[in-house]
Amino acid sequence: MNKTELVEHMAKHAEISKAAAGRALESLMGAVKATLKKGGTVALVGFGTFAVGKRAARVGRNPKTGAALKIKAAKVPKFRPGKGLKEALNK
Protein backbone atom coordinates (compact mmCIF):
# COMPACT_ATOMS: atom_id res chain seq x y z
CA MET A 1 0.00 0.00 0.00
CA ASN A 2 1.39 3.40 -0.91
CA LYS A 3 0.50 6.84 0.46
CA THR A 4 -2.26 7.50 -2.10
CA GLU A 5 -3.90 4.16 -1.37
CA LEU A 6 -3.67 4.81 2.36
CA VAL A 7 -5.37 8.20 1.97
CA GLU A 8 -8.14 6.58 -0.10
CA HIS A 9 -8.60 3.88 2.56
CA MET A 10 -8.73 6.46 5.36
CA ALA A 11 -11.24 8.62 3.44
CA LYS A 12 -13.51 5.66 2.71
CA HIS A 13 -13.53 4.18 6.22
CA ALA A 14 -13.71 7.50 8.10
CA GLU A 15 -16.33 8.85 5.65
CA ILE A 16 -14.34 12.03 4.99
CA SER A 17 -12.96 13.60 1.82
CA LYS A 18 -9.65 12.48 0.37
CA ALA A 19 -8.32 16.00 0.95
CA ALA A 20 -9.19 15.83 4.66
CA ALA A 21 -7.69 12.34 4.94
CA GLY A 22 -4.52 13.57 3.22
CA ARG A 23 -4.23 16.49 5.64
CA ALA A 24 -4.78 14.16 8.60
CA LEU A 25 -2.05 11.79 7.38
CA GLU A 26 0.39 14.66 6.75
CA SER A 27 -0.36 16.00 10.23
CA LEU A 28 0.31 12.60 11.81
CA MET A 29 3.59 12.18 9.95
CA GLY A 30 4.63 15.73 10.85
CA ALA A 31 3.90 15.16 14.53
CA VAL A 32 5.88 11.90 14.56
CA LYS A 33 8.86 13.54 12.79
CA ALA A 34 8.85 16.56 15.12
CA THR A 35 8.66 14.40 18.25
CA LEU A 36 11.45 12.08 17.09
CA LYS A 37 13.62 15.04 16.11
CA LYS A 38 13.35 16.29 19.72
CA GLY A 39 14.41 12.83 20.93
CA GLY A 40 10.95 11.78 22.15
CA THR A 41 8.81 8.73 21.44
CA VAL A 42 5.34 8.34 19.96
CA ALA A 43 3.32 5.47 21.46
CA LEU A 44 0.08 4.41 19.77
CA VAL A 45 -1.53 1.89 22.12
CA GLY A 46 -2.39 -1.32 20.28
CA PHE A 47 -0.34 -0.31 17.22
CA GLY A 48 3.25 0.37 18.26
CA THR A 49 5.91 2.82 19.35
CA PHE A 50 8.14 5.06 17.26
CA ALA A 51 11.46 5.97 18.90
CA VAL A 52 14.94 7.21 18.06
CA GLY A 53 17.84 4.78 18.05
CA LYS A 54 21.53 5.55 17.86
CA ARG A 55 23.95 3.93 15.45
CA ALA A 56 27.60 4.17 16.48
CA ALA A 57 30.33 5.37 14.15
CA ARG A 58 32.05 2.51 12.39
CA VAL A 59 34.43 1.61 9.60
CA GLY A 60 32.89 0.36 6.38
CA ARG A 61 34.28 -0.79 3.06
CA ASN A 62 33.77 0.56 -0.44
CA PRO A 63 32.34 -2.47 -2.29
CA LYS A 64 34.11 -1.56 -5.56
CA THR A 65 37.59 -0.84 -4.26
CA GLY A 66 37.60 -2.50 -0.86
CA ALA A 67 39.02 0.70 0.65
CA ALA A 68 38.10 1.41 4.29
CA LEU A 69 35.95 4.47 4.96
CA LYS A 70 34.55 6.05 8.09
CA ILE A 71 30.80 6.00 8.58
CA LYS A 72 29.55 8.70 10.96
CA ALA A 73 27.38 8.01 13.98
CA ALA A 74 23.69 8.58 13.22
CA LYS A 75 20.26 8.75 14.78
CA VAL A 76 17.81 6.33 13.17
CA PRO A 77 14.03 5.94 13.52
CA LYS A 78 12.89 2.68 15.09
CA PHE A 79 9.45 1.09 15.31
CA ARG A 80 8.38 -1.50 17.88
CA PRO A 81 5.03 -3.12 17.04
CA GLY A 82 2.44 -3.27 19.79
CA LYS A 83 0.56 -6.29 21.08
CA GLY A 84 -2.59 -5.47 19.07
CA LEU A 85 -0.69 -5.28 15.77
CA LYS A 86 1.17 -8.52 16.47
CA GLU A 87 -2.06 -10.31 17.33
CA ALA A 88 -3.78 -9.01 14.18
CA LEU A 89 -1.01 -10.44 12.03
CA ASN A 90 -1.11 -13.84 13.69
CA LYS A 91 -4.84 -14.58 13.52
> At 18, phi and psi to the nearest 5?
-65, -35
CATH architecture entry for 39-91 = Irregular (4.10)
Q: Domain boundaries in the chain?
A: 1-38, 39-91
pTM for this model (two decimals): 0.80
Q: What average pLDDT does range 31-39 have in this prediction?
A: 96
Q: How far apart, in Å, do the first and last CA atoms of the chain sit?
A: 20
pLDDT band for position 91 (cuts 50, 70, 90): confident
DSSP conformation class of 28: H
